Amino acid sequence: MYQVMVVEDEQWIRGAMVKMVESIDGGYEVVAEAGNGEEALDLIFEVWPTIVITDIKMPKKDGLWLVQEIKERNLPIIPIIVTGYDQFEYAQQAIRYGVSDFLLKPVIESEVLNALKGTIDRLKYHHTMHAFLLEIQEFINQIQDHSGHDFLKELLKLIKSLYDTKTLSVGERHVLLKIFSGKMNDLIVSIFPDFERKILCDVEKEGVRSHFQQLLEQWMKCSTDLLKNDSRSVIRNACEFLQQNYYKDLSMMDVTDRFNISVSHFSLLFKKHTGQTFVNYLNTVRINKAKELLTENDLKIYEIAEMVGFISPPHFNRVFKQINGYSPKEYRKIMNL
């Protein structure tokens, strides 16, 4: 199964793109949607898609910025650009950033299929590296549940696996280790502001083995204080904010900026304390409110979708069914409305 992210600021177009990808046979799954490049990059470090289909022109950070970030960070992700006739100069710039294909608006399903098929050879090349990224993310998500011997054992097991895998090049191994260490380093720095970032900057001089030794020692020193840190109040306040503002166009960065916390640390804490990702939690809040509104016979389903923060009715229907197992229309029948 290949994981796809769709990035488009217009929700109705994004919903149509998601529907196209999910209707194509060949093992493609949409794992995330985003409205701009900045939001997409945040989600990339949480869900690790293998393919990103992005519009080239968007508010805030656009698709060109996103594919440049993917290229410069050496992420094992294949970008596909959606562009218009008047955006060809941007498309030419995107070629330098390793874009796999271009889709010309208005996009049709056969072109999406051809673009996805064109990524297969490169996907095979990225397979091992992507598998490690998912393993690293799983480790980071569970890191606070480990202590002492268990934590050390799992950490060393993962690092040993990175070194022992023959199909990884030296460059790929370095990128993976840098991503892993960066995630751990960000977590420590977000809680302990005085922690010196020079450790990460000295990777090239000291070598990755020496770097991990120092990082591990620093983590073990901080772990006791980390567990004592009152993170519950931050997540509790964030959840209250989402429950009160669910109808707005919210991204994870909107919340982290409000509570002055890094995205990586917030993502980790949110999953730990709620058992859900940020996106899944917000969707659940919105759908629960929608169920209340569905008891109002005078409201249309598309009106309810907009009232709870979904501009695209098809996207609302899909999320509703994903969470409840039945569509909004079926829910009304169940409730005899």
How far apart are alpha carbons 201 and 211 in whole angstroms? 10
Above 60 in pLDDT, residue 200?
no
Position 36 scores a pLDDT of: 93
Establish if 315 belongs to a structural domain.
Answer: yes
Mean pLDDT of 110-138: 75
Position 102 scores a pLDDT of: 82
Number of domains in the chain: 3
Position 46 scores a pLDDT of: 82
Residue 236 sits in the same domain as residue 313? yes
Residue 72 sits in the same domain as residue 157? no
Among 5-19, 134-148, 277-291, the least confident range = 134-148
Establish if 155 belongs to a structural domain.
Answer: yes
Q: Which of 189, 206, 228 is the endpoint of a domain?
A: 228
Q: For position 67, which CATH number holds?
A: 3.40.50.2300
Q: Which of 194, 228, 262 is the endpoint of a domain?
A: 228
Strand order in the sheet with 101-104: 28-34, 2-7, 51-55, 78-83, 101-104
Percent share of the chain, pLDDT over 90: 25
Residue 243 sits in the same domain as residue 301? yes
Establish if 130 belongs to a structural domain.
Answer: no
CA 277 to the chain's CA centroid: 9
Q: Is 44 left (phi over 0), alpha (psi -120 to 50) or beta?
A: alpha
Q: For position 277, which CATH number holds?
A: 1.10.10.60
User: Which among 120-124, 137-141, 168-172, 322-326 has the top mean pLDDT?
Assistant: 322-326
Above 70 in pLDDT, residue 109?
yes
The residues near 56 (Cβ < 8 Å, ≥ 6 apart) are 62, 63, 64, 81, 82, 83, 84, 87, 90, 91, 94
What domain range includes position 24?
Answer: 2-118
The residues near 63 (Cβ < 8 Å, ≥ 6 apart) are 7, 37, 54, 55, 56, 57, 81, 82, 94
Residue 23 sits in the same domain as residue 106? yes
Which residue in this structure is represented by tokens 């919210």? 250
Residue 238 sits in the same domain as residue 330? yes
Which residue in this structure is represented by tokens 């389903």? 301
Q: Which of 118, 133, 163 is the endpoint of a domain?
A: 118
Residue 204 sits in the same domain as residue 273? no
Above 50 in pLDDT, residue 90?
yes
Establish if 125 belongs to a structural domain.
Answer: no
Residue 223 sits in the same domain as residue 266? no
Establish if 282 belongs to a structural domain.
Answer: yes
The number of CA neighbours under 13 Å toward the Cβ of 192 is: 18
Residue 223 sits in the same domain as residue 239? no
The one-letter code for the residue type at 112 is V
Position 116 scores a pLDDT of: 85
Q: How long, in residues, is the chain?
A: 337
Nearest to 10 by CA among 47, 46, 36, 43: 36
More confident residue, 117 or 100: 117
Mean pLDDT of 73-100: 75
Predicted TM-score (pTM) of this structure: 0.50
How far apart are alpha carbons 207 and 215 in whole angstroms? 12
